[in-house]
């Protein structure tokens, strides 16, 4: 009897940990780890106008590209922490859901996106 609630707890905990929307403060802390991946899902044109920089590896993979997941999989491990953002939060939210379905395990989405970003 105890096994079912425990399994349910583990499942729910893993589901919650897999994708989280985080504040700028938490995002800044996470992007200081060089083993993490900072994933900008905006267009290359938006990225060229400015991006968030940290110690984490920075990738720009356009969410609108037909092979979005495949491009991310080429450059990031499914076990790495992904720090995802777009301009305002719409694309990154959808991208995070797709990344989670593709098997990425630790995904953090920047609340408010690049447009709300305040540099450290």
Task: List the catalytic residues.
Answer: 86
The values of phi and psi at residue 108, to 5°, are: -125, 130
Eight-class DSSP state of 116: G
Q: Which residues pair with 51 in a beta bridge?
A: none
Q: How far apart are CA 4 and CA 38, in angstroms?
A: 37
Q: Which residues pair with 101 in a beta bridge?
A: none
Of the chain, the end-to-end C-alpha distance in Å amounts to 50
């Amino acid at each position: 009897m105890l096994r079912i609630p425990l399994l349910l707890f583990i499942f729910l905990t893993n589901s919650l940990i897999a994708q989280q929307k985080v504040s700028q403060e938490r995002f800044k802390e996470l992007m200081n780890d060089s083993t993490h991946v900072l994933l900008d899902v905006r267009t290359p044109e938006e990225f060229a106008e400015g991006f968030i920089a940290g110690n984490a590896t920075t990738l720009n993979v356009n969410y609108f590209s037909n092979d979005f997941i495949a491009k991310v999989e080429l450059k990031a491990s499914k076990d790495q922490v992904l720090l995802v953002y777009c301009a305002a939060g719409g694309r990154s939210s959808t991208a995070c859901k797709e990344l989670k379905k593709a098997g990425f395990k630790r995904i953090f989405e920047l609340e408010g996106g690049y447009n709300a970003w305040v540099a450290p």
